[in-house]
Amino acid sequence: MAETPLHTDPLWPRAASWLVPAEPGDTSVADIGILGIPAYRTSITPTGAHATPAAVREALRFYSTYSASRGVDVAELVALDFGDVAEPDGAVGQTRVQQAVGEAVKRSRLLLVVGGDNSLTQGAVLGVAAGGSLADVGLITIDAHHDLRDGVSNGSPVRQLLEAGLPGGNVVQIGIGDFSNSAAYAKRASDTGITVVPRSALRGADLVGVCEAALAVAGAGGRRVFVDVDVDVCDRAEVPGCPSAAPGGISADELRVLVGCLASDSRVVGFDLTEIDATIDAADGRTVRLAALLLLEAAAGFAVREKG
């Protein structure tokens, strides 16, 4: 059945029209950059996450650009779409990811990466650090999992980054779930100095305070901070397109609050959104639509930052 066209209203602009494709040879710097990284081949659980960047861009058409609670319109920000990284999987693909992120972060005051599975986080953080040292970068993960597994997969990016020189003392993991990890990897997190905020600590918590505490650790010494968002941190009922999500995770609203709050801090230079498989989403597209809203929440947080 053909899809019904959406209503057109010149006074209600759709967020899909906000993104402007980056032109070859253009060196201008945007407020917001969007980069798709459709990684999926090394996923522990078979996934169609490579279909997600296009689906998220498409889902932006369901939303406006105005944040009523903040009184900001992200349409006033310049947003460049840098397209997708071709064949981002494997060692060669990770090099392409690193190079693409390195270029995009130079041309974006806040870079928003749309995955793809969580393996992309390794190349993304290396790209942020390009030309410098991982010792000067902090990482916040919003994730039910530690991602400290052995091997090379979507379960190992944090371990790989630690081995590459990212200081564990500047890594904060928010939302770590019960029965989603092992004692061995929890010990690895503790031994490497990672700050862990379990999902249980978020129940009834002041989420703004959680963000401030995380930024104090990850951004200590004025470090640039990258935020890795694995959407399977959410309750499975809210994100059926996340294969590893479990019942009892955080709500979609809590995740939106965390993303918007972190984006409002000038130390945060980029986010990734990972672990959504658009090919298994619910018929109403709720998981992909949440990802589109997370892009808008991050942009609105940046707009608040600009307002001072």
Q: pLDDT tens across 233-267, in order?
A: 999 999 999 999 999 999 999 999 999 999 999 99
Strand boundaries in 11-90, DSSP class E? 20-21, 30-37, 66-67, 72-73, 79-84
Q: pLDDT tens across 105-155, in order?
A: 999 999 999 999 999 999 999 999 998 899 999 999 999 999 999 999 999
Q: pLDDT tens across 31-49, in order?
A: 999 999 999 999 999 999 9
pLDDT value of position 4: 66
CA-angle at 132, arms to 82 and 172, nearest 5° = 80
pLDDT value of position 195: 98
pLDDT value of position 3: 62
Question: Which percentage of the chain shows pLDDT scores above 70?
Answer: 99
What is the residue-averaged pLDDT of the chain? 96
Q: What's the whole-number mean pLDDT along residues 66-88?
A: 98
β-strands 224-230, 268-274 pairing? parallel
Question: Which percentage of the chain shows pLDDT scores above 90?
Answer: 95
Q: pLDDT tens across 272-292, in order?
A: 999 999 999 999 999 999 999
Q: Is the pLDDT of residue 1 over 50?
A: no
Burial of 3-25, coded b for 16+ CB within 10 Å and e otherwise, reads eeeeeeeeeeebbbebbeebeee
